[in-house]
Chains A and B, each alone.
Chain A
Amino acid sequence: DGGITQSPKYLFRKEGQNVTLSCEQNLNHDAMYWYRQDPGQGLRLIYYSQIVNDFQKGDIAEGYSVSREKKESFPLTVTSAQKNPTAFYLCASSIDLRTYGYTFGSGTRLTVV
C-alpha cells in the first residue's frame, strides 16, 4: 500500500543533541512538507520541498534543517539551536505544490529530557 512512513514514533533527546526524524513516501509525490504541532496550536510549516535537491523554509524554520537527496525521502534534523523542540512532528506529501490533498504520516513525538 502506498503511504508515508515516519520514524521513530517516539523520540527522546537530551538538550544540546541533534536528532533526525525520518520521512519516507512511496506515493511518487513530488512535494513534501514538515509541520510541527503543539497542544492548542495549529500545524505550523517548518520546511517544504517541491523537487529533489530543492527545499524552502516555512514559517518556523529556525533550528531545523532538511535534505531532499531522493524523491522518496525528506528527513528533518532538529538541531541544538531549536530552543523548544518538544512537539509532535508531521510529515506530509502531495502530488505537487499546487495540489492540496496532502497525505500525512503518523507523526513523531519528540521530547527533550
Chain B
Amino acid sequence: EDKVVQSPLSLVVHEGDTVTLNCSYEVTNFRSLLWYKQEKKAPTFLFMLTSSGIEKKSGRLSSILDKKELFSILNITATQTGDSAIYLCAVGDRGGADGLTFGKGTHLIIQP
C-alpha cells in the first residue's frame, strides 16, 4: 500500500527562524511529489517535484526531492506569522489513476 509520511506532525518556532519539513514516501510507480499549504480551508499549491536534486524556489520557500532515498524537504527561511499553516505533502503515481496520496501534514505555528 502506498504511504506518505510527514515529520514532524507539529512544529512551533519563532518569527525569523528557518524550518525544514520532511516527507518520505513509498509508492509503486512514483510520478510526482507535491507540497500544499493549507491555512484555513482550501489547500493551495506550492511546488511539484518530479526530478531528483533540482531545487524549486518561490520566495522564502524552497523544496527538493531525493528519488533515491524517497524523500523531500520543504524549507522556509526567515519565517513570518503568515507562514503558520498545515503543510501537506502528496505523491502521485501510475499516471494519477488513483488521485494523490496525502501525508497527515505538518502543523506549523510561527510565534511573533
Q: Nearest A residue to B43 by beta-carbon distance?
A: A104
Contact A40 B104 (CB under 8 A): yes
Contact A101 B45 (CB under 8 A): yes
Q: Number of contacts between A and B (CB, 8 Å)?
A: 65
Interface residue range, chain B: 20 to 34
Q: Nearest A residue to B91 by beta-carbon distance?
A: A100
Within 8 A of B (CB), among A7-65: 31, 33, 35, 40-45, 48, 58-59
- With both chains docked as a complex, state the minimum distance between the C-beta of B1 and any C-beta of chain A, in angstroms: 9
Contact A100 B88 (CB under 8 A): no
Contact A100 B100 (CB under 8 A): yes
For residue B109, CB closer than 8 A to chain A, the reply is no
What residues of chain B have their CB less than 8 Å away from a CB belonging to chain A?
4, 6, 9, 31-32, 34, 41-45, 48, 88, 90, 92, 95-105
Q: Known contacts A101-B34, A102-B43, A104-B44; can you find 11 more A-B pairs with CB under 8 A?
A: A35-B102, A42-B101, A42-B103, A42-B105, A43-B90, A44-B102, A100-B34, A100-B96, A101-B48, A102-B45, A104-B43
